[in-house]
Amino acid sequence: MSKHKLTRGLTFIDGLKALGSILQYHVELEFPLKATLNTGSAIDVAWFKERGQKFPLFIFEVESAPTNAMGNNPLKVFSRSNDVFEKPLFYFQVVVSGGIDSSRIGDLQRQFGSHNYRIYRLAEADGQKQLLIDILSQHRRLTDRLDIVGVVDFLLKSKWIDVNIDDIVKSLDFLSYEKNGSFLPALGILTTRYPDLVNLYCEMLLRQYGASIDYPHRLNYNSYFGHQWFLPIHLGIKALFSESILEKGYCFEKVKTWNENSDHLTMIGPHFGLNQDYDNFLIFGAGGFFAVLSTLFHEVQTARTYFAEQLELIIDRSKDQFKVINLMWLMHIAPKNGQGKKFIDKSTSFFTAQSFFSSEAFYFMSLISSEELVHEITHKRDEMPNFEPSSEYFIRPEFDNNFVIRNAIRVLVDSDVSVKQDGTPTIDILRTLRS
Q: Read off the pLDDT of residues 149-187 as tens digits, 9 standing for 90 and up.
A: 999 999 999 999 999 999 999 999 999 999 888 999 999
Q: Which of 13-17, 133-137, 207-211, 315-319 has the lowest mean pLDDT?
A: 207-211
pLDDT band for position 310 (cuts 50, 70, 90): very high
SS (H, E, C) the chain: CCCCCCHHHHHHHHHHHHHHHHCCCEEEEEEECCCCCCCCCEEEEEEECCCCCCCCCEEEEEECCCCHHHHHHHHHHHCCCCCCCCCCCEEEEEECCCCCCCHHHHHHHHHHCCCCEEEEECCCCCHHHHHHHHHHHHHHCCCCCCCHHHHHHHHHHHCCCCCCHHHHHHHHHHCCCCCCCCHHHHHHHHHHHCHHHHHHHHHHHHHHHCCCCCCCCCCCCCCHHHHHHHHHHHHHHHHHHCCCHHHHHHHHHHHHHHHHCCCCCCCCCCCCCCCHHHHHHHHHCHHHHHHHHHHHCCCCCCHHHHHHHHHHHHHHCCCHHHCHHHHHHHHHHCCCCHHHHHHHHHHHHHHHHHCCECHHHHHCCCCCCCHHHHHHHHCCECCCCCCCCCCHHHCCCCCCHHHHHHHHHHHHHCCCCCCEECCEECCCCHHHHCC
pLDDT band for position 22 (cuts 50, 70, 90): very high
Q: Read off the pLDDT of residues 386-431 as tens digits, 9 standing for 90 and up.
A: 887 666 666 555 567 888 898 899 999 987 654 343 433 334 566 5
Q: Output the pTM of the full model.
A: 0.87
Q: Which of 136-140, 178-182, 326-330, 340-344 has the lowest mean pLDDT?
A: 178-182
